[in-house]
Amino acid sequence: MKRKILIHSIAFSPDGVSTAYLYNDIALKFKQSGYDVVVLTTTPHYNIVPEDVAKQPLHKKWGGLYYESRFNEIKVLHVPQKKFKSAFLRIIGFLYWHFLSLIIGLFQKNVSLIISPSPPLTIGLINLLIGKLKGAKVIYNVQEIYPDFLINQGSLRFKPAIKILKAMERFVYNKSDAVTTIDPIFYQTIASRFKDKSKLRIVPNFVDTDLFKPISDGDSSLNPKWFPAKQNTLKVMYAGNIGHAQDWEPLLKVAKAVVDLEIEFWVIGEGVMKDSLSKKIEENSLKNIHLIPYQPREQMPALIAYADIHFIFMSPEMEGQGFPSKVYTIMACAKPLLVISGKRTPIHNFLSQHNCAFLADDDANNIKCARIIEFLKNALSNRNFIITLADNGYNVIEKNYSKNAVTKQYVDLLDEILSGK
């Protein structure tokens, strides 16, 4: 009989976010490797892509108490969840998801192993409880470090709550059968929180090189109103969540300084900071910044090809707690990166090894902006050096971070844990 793997994630297909795409591919690799896979997740609520929902329809179970769908013949169980504006309703929805996930998880038969990504940290507790009662092994995948993320963001200051969450973090780490994290900096950050460091492994994220690969230039599927042909313009792009993890002030300052040059910026996506960014663009009359709605994942290779440079400006509060998966996709499409991030952060640690990005890692904001302005002016007049950066990044991805290479590491870890080695 095939061994059953339960993937428990806050996001999975047909939701259109990076964690969902990541675990879609991991689930498929588990299935291809001979495991029986079932997924426990939420209903789509991050980036709802109607075309993807139509391809993977959700069917009510128990009158809508939960839903069921099929992803490439893998059973997916969805607990209803929405993006509530009210903080109270978000908390209620969060608690409902945890409670119902626990019940549904306990009803799954013959589960051998449970794997889940953070956030949230509390998903690790639910998995440990299900694993204890079902006799299943548990793997916890640290994509973002909690509660550090909340503390550094400034949204968590209540000391008793911090103390409880830190205790919870250590409990999840030490009671899980294995913990994976995506970067050596993350490893160094959390290693001291383990009694047995041999439980902690580094398994990087990856990119689907079948989808994300170099193409000559954008394609006709891009809306010409938003993405016009501009051969002589240096096109600089950010595509992703427009939230607190990014620092938007340098973008505004740099754009203002180069407004009379043939340098333009595209910001594509949705998020809590979009309205604020839009107002500041309008207040400063920055005609060289184009704010564009979220675009389907299938168009991302064309979007990446459209731009000459892709920027990621990490906020000082968040830069040490996350590693944007878009780094891999941009490199896989042979495009250079322009990054703001301090030293000793995951993204800086990774990119500084491969000479595929311009890194603005100065402490002072005015120095960072001045260096970026100089970089963009040089790129406008001489494209050759950014082509070299792009080629370096592409070669790194092909060798070390393809989907097949990294998902196999997850399969090997499962085999090891379940064999008791």
The CATH number given to whatever domain includes residue 338 is 3.40.50.2000
**Domain count of the chain?**
2
pLDDT at 218 over 60: no
Confidence of residue 324 (pLDDT cuts 50, 70, 90): confident
pLDDT at 325: 82
What average pLDDT does the segment 19-30 reach?
94
The reply to whether 334 falls in a domain is: yes
Q: What's the whole-number mean pLDDT along residues 130-145?
A: 94
Q: Are 121 and 168 in contact (CB under 8 A)?
A: yes
**Do 14 and 161 share a domain, yes or no?**
yes
**Based on the domain organization, do 266 and 288 belong to the same domain?**
yes
Query: Mean of the pLDDT values across residues 104-109?
Result: 96
Does the pLDDT value for residue 217 go beyond 70?
no
pTM reported for the whole predicted model? 0.77
How many Å apart are CA 152 and CA 345, to the nearest integer? 14
For residue 159, count CB atoms less than 10 angstroms from its CB and return exposed for 0-12, middle for 13-18, buried for 19 or more.
exposed
Domain that holds residue 372: 234-400
In a domain, 282, yes or no: yes
pLDDT of residue 370: 96
Q: Two tokens at 49?
A: 């892509």
Average pLDDT over residues 375-397: 94
* Predicted local distance difference test score (pLDDT) of residue 235: 97
* 272: three-class secondary structure by DSSP: coil
Tell me which H or E stretch contains 267: strand 263-268
For tokens 């400006």, name the residue: 313
pLDDT value at residue 126: 96
Write the single-letter amino acid at 284: N
Q: Is the confidence at residue 192, as pLDDT, over 60? A: yes
Q: Per-residue confidence at 262, pLDDT binned at 50, 70, 90?
A: very high
Whether 82 is covered by a domain: the verdict is: yes
Same domain, 281 and 352: yes
Cβ-based neighbour number of residue 384 at 10 Å: 7
Among 40-54, 121-135, 261-275, 318-332, the range scoring the smallest mean pLDDT is 318-332
For the chain, give the number of residues: 421
Closest CA to 38 of 1, 60, 9: 9
Pairing mode, if any, of strands 66-71 and 74-79? antiparallel
409 and 391 together in one domain: no
